[in-house]
Amino acid sequence: MVGPWLKALSSSALASKSVNFADIVRSRRMSRSFSDQAVDPAVVTSCIDLATRAPSAGKSQGWHVLVLENESTQRYWDVALSPERREGFAFPLLLQAPVIVISMCDPTAYLERYSEPDKKATGLGEGLEKWPAPYWTIDASFATMTFLLALQDVKLGALFFAHSNEAGLRQEFNIPDHIEILGTIAIGHEAAGPQPQGRSAKRIRRSVESVIHQKNW
């Protein structure tokens, strides 16, 4: 299954009238209830491939993902959500998501890239403390958002959430210490019926006028 956005990008037909990026953005939401219907691994891979096109400083490309399917998703929940915490858990069908993706970044990729001849003069390859902002996190966030939009395009539900028990996840899945974990994305087909909402859903979205500052703050 390939969405119209993915089709357009892969066929260089980005100007096609069948693609409405605004609709993809506006319809995207966080899904917290999944069916047990399987997800085609090739579709997830295609969405990840699209997300790798997100920008990164110096094209350092420090984004990584750990894809968990089938029994590996149970391993994730066994570490991240103990049986005791599952009692009374507000979103039980979240645990049915057939795919779990852990979004990560590698800060050392930026040091290596900015130690290369064309970037060495910046001094940014000398240490992470030299950077004015953690671009490894920023760039991986760009990629993660692109991934979420790609999933929306192919009609898959997704929930990005903060992981818990990071030490346990690192040990269970052999994640190196220097790799930064941004969060977890649960992926699958949405369960029938209304989607449960988080506590923040009732908050009013800020107006564009409150976001834009013209000429001065």
Could you report the per-residue pLDDT of 73-105, keeping only the tens digit for each? 999 999 999 888 888 888 889 999 999 999 999
Sheet holding 157-161, edge to edge: 63-69, 99-105, 180-188, 157-161
Residue, of 132 and 29, whose pLDDT is higher: 132
- How far CA 107 is from CA of 62, 89, 131, 138, 171, in Å, comes to 7, 34, 11, 11, 20
Instruction: Specify the DSSP class assigned to residue 190.
Output: B
What is the Cα–Cα distance from 9 to 53, expressed in whole angstroms? 11
| Fold annotation for 31-191 | NADH Oxidase (3.40.109)
Show the tokens assigned to 99.
Answer: 């795919």
Q: Say yes or no to pLDDT of 194 above 90.
A: no
Show the tokens assigned to 9.
Answer: 């990008």
Q: What is the pTM of this model?
A: 0.87
Q: Say yes or no to pLDDT of 180 above 60.
A: yes
pLDDT of residue 3: 63
Helix (H) or strand (E) holding 17: none
* Alpha-carbon dihedral 64, 68, 74, 75, rounded to 10 degrees: -50
